[in-house]
Amino acid sequence: MTQVSAVPSAAPSSEPPPQMQDRAVIMRLMFGAWLQQALYVAAKLDVADALADGPRDIEALAGEVGADPTALARFLRALVSAGVFAEPSPGRFELNGPAEYLRSSVPNTHKYIAILHGEEAYAACAEVLHTAHTGRPAFDVVYGKPYFSYIAGDPKARATFDAAMGRETAVPLVVAQCDFGAEGTVVDVGGGVGALLAAVLVDRPGLTGVLFDLPESSDAAREHLAGLGLAARVRVVGGTAFDSVPAGGDVYTISRVLHDFDDEQVLTILGNVRSAMSPSARLMVFDALLTERPGFNPGRMADLGMLMVLGGRYRTEAEMRDLLSRAGFRVTEVRHARDADPRAESVLEAVPA
Ligand SMILES: C[S@@+](CC[C@H](N)C(=O)[O-])C[C@H]1O[C@@H](n2cnc3c(N)ncnc32)[C@H](O)[C@@H]1O
């Protein structure tokens, strides 16, 4: 058994001894759940927005966001110690670089994903051992049904999900590297509120779109597209890709959808896309691909979320290629995100084999 030495009273250097560094790694991780909840509090109560004009005393800040001042100060100090927000003088808080990403309106805001992770997805972790023992989602045990069925019956949860999907990085950055053609129809399968279609159509007046997603997201999608002046160019179709996918597209896109599902489900979805496609149509699958990068690997964290909440998984490029091939596609090109993309999303382009 490893002997844990006591903290020396007068350390010869400011560097902690190796065992202390190891313990610090575990301690930081053990507090991860609470830290995530502190982030959730800050996001849900709009704390970063309330600090947008400069530092505030905790009393005024708490009053504005509807929090208990002492409790809010403790949440914020925990975040400050982890590098989010700053406390320039006791009881006075301000934004720093990371905290800027909790503001509502900054590009690529993480506020809405912090809220998404802090609600049902967090509560689902209470049954994590079910996932460890069975490989099945803890969410289903806690909520009695799969995630997408649950949010179908809870408009507030669905709105939280749509807000997170539409905002963090509205569209995979690698979309800019793709050739959609100048004319024809793009069918976006699992297209959410239509962020990807909007990005593609806005500069290509010869293209029209079909947004296909679960029926409960149709209203939010129509509203979003109408707000962008694209209502006339996009047909919103509600349905499930497990049954069928709208036919007639020249390009089919599936963005950030396949990681929500297990391999059998992915094969069903891809099979239905394949059936809907003409021989000349093309498919573009956008997703983050798992890599073996050393050190902290956000893909591995996101993969855990898929495991516990949805029963899905992130995949390597080889695994994606294998699924596409088994579903009757031939991969023609794989483009990887440029370094500046924090989500490291790639696109696999394929045609019917
Ligand atoms: C992670 S979101 C991705 C949204 C969007 N494509 C993007 O890139 O941000 C997954 C989407 O798949 C949709 N979805 C889930 N199950 C589906 C199904 N059976 N058929 C069609 N869409 C589905 C969800 O409603 C959601 O909008």
149 lines ligand 1 (CB under 6 A): no
In CATH, the architecture of 19-100 is Orthogonal Bundle (1.10)
Reading the chain (353 residues) residue by residue, the pLDDT tens digits are 334 444 444 555 667 677 888 888 898 899 999 999 999 999 999 999 999 999 999 999 999 999 999 999 999 999 999 999 999 999 999 999 999 999 999 988 899 999 999 999 999 999 999 999 999 999 999 999 999 999 999 999 999 998 887 665 678 889 999 999 999 999 999 999 899 999 999 989 999 999 999 998 899 899 999 999 999 999 999 999 999 999 999 999 999 999 999 999 999 999 999 999 999 999 999 999 998 777 778 888 899 999 999 999 999 999 999 999 999 999 999 999 876 666 678 999 999 99
Residues of the chain with CATH 3.40.50.150: 170-352
Amino acid at 295: G
Residues of the chain with CATH 1.10.287.1350: 111-165
For residue 259, indicate whether it is catalytic: yes
Q: Mutation test of ligand 1: which of 219, 257, 261 has the most ligand atoms closer than 8 Å to its C-beta?
A: 257
For 170-352, which CATH superfamily applies? Answer: Vaccinia Virus protein VP39 (3.40.50.150)
Nearest residue by C-alpha to atom 19 in ligand 1: 240
Q: For residue 246, what are the CA distances in angstroms to 249, 250, 253, 283?
A: 8, 11, 12, 13
pLDDT score recorded for residue 142: 98
* HEC readout, 279-296: CCCEEEEEEEECCCCCCC
Please tell me the distance between residue 49's alpha carbon and the centre of ligand 1 in angstroms: 29
pLDDT score recorded for residue 168: 53
CATH class of 111-165: mainly alpha
Q: For residue 84, what are the CA distances in angstroms to 21, 35, 149, 166, 258?
A: 22, 10, 35, 23, 32
Please tell me the distance between residue 192's alpha carbon and the centre of ligand 1 in angstroms: 6
